[in-house]
A and B are shown apart, each in its own frame.
Chain A
């Protein structure tokens, strides 16, 4: 039986067991929407294409499945670009469909035409322009395979409207044949043996675990590895939750705003075991001063991540889960009692802290701590980007993978809220909280109506300091306190804004209102809540290693 291209597309998504798709209609995708009308999976109409891609991304990160989005040609497609780049930098599996003008018009500057495969070439793992309907099903099969295997990433499929309207027999391929794409999962056993030997003789080893551990679902294997070796663990921003931060061996997050003890331990280590992490500049700071005494073992599925910025002594290319499982068979605990004692002392002497004596304006860090206490650490926390993101990373203690969702690599403001919508759809059993700033929440606030429509009880906790706080912090510290265009004194009334959307809005101005407000929000289970926390205006995120500097230049607190 022949089918239209648009129907083949929907049938292919059914074959991929897609449960939820995000998107926005437009001229050249009307044929696809025609068949979406009675598709058996959920379609979430966001109010902006950027929101659709971020929501698909949040869905993917919370569930481990492929996120799927659909937008029209031209502006619909370009609105997806930030979302695609966000997913690309954080290795999130997405399949994004865009409509395209009909084939005979491509290249003619037709209405709503852009070369979206050209635009997204450097920010996708792969992309396709479907030129022949007979290729459509194969391309979709390949796209899902490419997006979700190896180091995952976004794949874009551009579908000209006349391909959607053309007819062809539908047969979904059983397997993919890509001779240029063969991800390696199994680590080299010789390298694994060498790594274990090195670990056995280490005196000051540290595990540095990243988002790759989340992606490969290797948290269990990592925990077993730590149980066997007793090596302290620090994680990157995207690795939060892969090892419980409540464990005595956790050093919590490292890097620019990481803990003193994590950065100190890494700096003093004689062996750094990087697992699914990529030595981002926010982690290393000045690369020439980074880990002066350490040998490096690097486990990563992407050979291009190995020795990219930091030379590696023992590279192990493979899937974190498989490699760790194999290491767990043979690894021995090194003698590191002195190292443990030193780290314990560091943790005691330089805890993560903030000024708790100031009883004036609410401290944003306190709000995050209280959210942690009131949710018993069991929520999925999404963040926007900036100070809110760093405080969310520092003061909520993560114990489970996929419980912290944030734009790490690209640092996309406006990511957190649509991602929270996606995460809530993926995990209806969990409370999902977007920790936001008053700046970034305004970047995708239009998606509030989507949460109302679908009765999603996402909580948005705005740490409202009337500033673009992180940029203001840099201006204060490095640019003569010239607060050029970072003051957001002109702001909407977030409570009335929430109400106008049919959501609940609560403003919190005093310390004693914090707990009741959070509790009230947690009692609401059928609509979104905006908590507008009026927090102290010029609070800074500490510790801080200034950009491009080394651990030696860490700033611990406000300089008088």
Chain B
């Protein structure tokens, strides 16, 4: 029974409910780092239950390896539930803070684009504007691309959070 050597690299969104305790994040991250996988984004937060945290992990990898990582995650004592959101109907949101070059002559354009994305103007200086945009990760990608020609000075994304649809 030959195992396939083909690499099926794709992006996965894994949602992990964990005990709200010290050390859990290191255990989870260790399973990825031990395989040489870089986590694209990771959001950790409180949930409706005080003693439960949730992690949304976005990672690229070979499907067999990710399958194995999910099983290994399930084996961790402090992990309550692992769900793979990759192929499931979900609502996803992410937030970006982006500082872009904006000389007075360009401000109006940037405002206009920002409005389309319902951006917050978080800060403004003589040479820059800092905008905050929330939305689906793909919209954030688009917004960043639109800002790129103006010269992005700094950018930071929170990483996505993902909930299954009812």
Chain A residues with Cβ below 8 Å from B75 are 302, 304
Chain B residues with Cβ below 8 Å from A178 are 77
Chain A residues with Cβ below 8 Å from B71 are 303-304
Contact A180 B26 (CB under 8 A): no
Chain A residues with Cβ below 8 Å from B18 are 180
With A287-B3, A304-B71 as known contacts, state yes or no: A121 contacts B30, CB within 8 Å. yes
Indicate if B41 sits at the interface (CB-CB under 8 A).
no
Contact B1 A311 (CB under 8 A): yes
Partner of A310, one of B1, B5, B74: B1
Contact A304 B26 (CB under 8 A): no
Contact B72 A126 (CB under 8 A): no
Chain B interface residue count, CB cutoff 8 Å, equals: 23
> 1/0 per position for A280-301, CB-CB distance to B under 8 A?
0000000111111011100000
Chain A residues with Cβ below 8 Å from B72 are 304
Question: CA separation between A311 and B5, bound complex, in Å?
Answer: 13
Partner of B2, one of A121, A126, A179, A288: A288
B69 to chain A, nearest CB (A): 9
With A180-B19, A288-B3 as known contacts, state yes or no: A308 contacts B30, CB within 8 Å. no
Question: CA separation between A321 and B58, bound complex, in Å?
Answer: 39
> 1/0 per position for A209-231, CB-CB distance to B under 8 A?
00000000000000000000000
Question: CA separation between A291 and B71, bound complex, in Å?
Answer: 25
Indicate if A146 sits at the interface (CB-CB under 8 A).
yes
Chain A residues with Cβ below 8 Å from B80 are 179-180
Partner of B77, one of A181, A303, A310: A181
Partner of A180, one of B23, B68, B79: B79
> 1/0 per position for B50-81, CB-CB distance to A under 8 A?
00000000000000000110011011111110
With A121-B26, A121-B30 as known contacts, state yes or no: A310 contacts B3, CB within 8 Å. yes
Contact A118 B1 (CB under 8 A): no
Chain A residues with Cβ below 8 Å from B34 are 122
Within 8 A of B (CB), among A104-154: 117-118, 121-122, 125-126, 129, 146
Indicate if B27 sits at the interface (CB-CB under 8 A).
yes
Chain A residues with Cβ below 8 Å from B2 are 288-289, 292
What residue of chain B has the Cβ atom nearest to residue A118's Cβ?
B26
Chain B residues with Cβ below 8 Å from A179 are 80
Indicate if A309 sits at the interface (CB-CB under 8 A).
yes
Contact B77 A126 (CB under 8 A): yes
Contact B30 A122 (CB under 8 A): yes
For chain A, give the interface size range.
Answer: 20 to 34
Partner of B1, one of A121, A146, A292, A304: A292
Chain B residues with Cβ below 8 Å from A303 are 71, 74
Partner of B3, one of A129, A295, A309: A309
Chain A residues with Cβ below 8 Å from B5 are 288
Question: CA separation between A303 and B77, bound complex, in Å?
Answer: 14
A232 to chain B, nearest CB (A): 19
Chain B residues with Cβ below 8 Å from A129 are 22-23
B49 to chain A, nearest CB (A): 11
Residue among A146, A291, A304 with the highest chain B CB neighbour number at 10 A: A304
Chain B residues with Cβ below 8 Å from A288 are 2-3, 5
Chain A residues with Cβ below 8 Å from B30 are 121-122
Contact B1 A180 (CB under 8 A): no
Question: CA separation between A121 and B80, bound complex, in Å?
Answer: 18
Contact A291 B1 (CB under 8 A): yes
Chain B residues with Cβ below 8 Å from A125 are 77
Contact A304 B68 (CB under 8 A): yes
Residue among A146, A288, A295 with the highest chain B CB neighbour number at 10 A: A288
Contact B74 A296 (CB under 8 A): no
Contact B26 A290 (CB under 8 A): no
Question: CA separation between A307 and B75, bound complex, in Å?
Answer: 16
Question: CA separation between A117 and B30, bound complex, in Å?
Answer: 13
What residue of chain B has the Cβ atom nearest to residue A183's Cβ?
B75
Contact A296 B1 (CB under 8 A): yes
A145 to chain B, nearest CB (A): 10
Contact B74 A304 (CB under 8 A): yes
B5 to chain A, nearest CB (A): 7
Within 8 A of B (CB), among A479-506: none
A402 to chain B, nearest CB (A): 25
Question: CA separation between A146 and B75, bound complex, in Å?
Answer: 11
Chain B residues with Cβ below 8 Å from A118 are 26
Residues of A within 8 A of B (CB): 117-118, 121-122, 125-126, 129, 146, 178-181, 287-292, 294-296, 302-304, 307-311
Residues of B within 8 A of A (CB): 1-3, 5, 18-19, 22-23, 26-27, 30, 34, 67-68, 71-72, 74-80
7 CB < 8 A contacts A-B: A121-B27, A129-B23, A178-B77, A181-B77, A288-B3, A303-B71, A308-B68
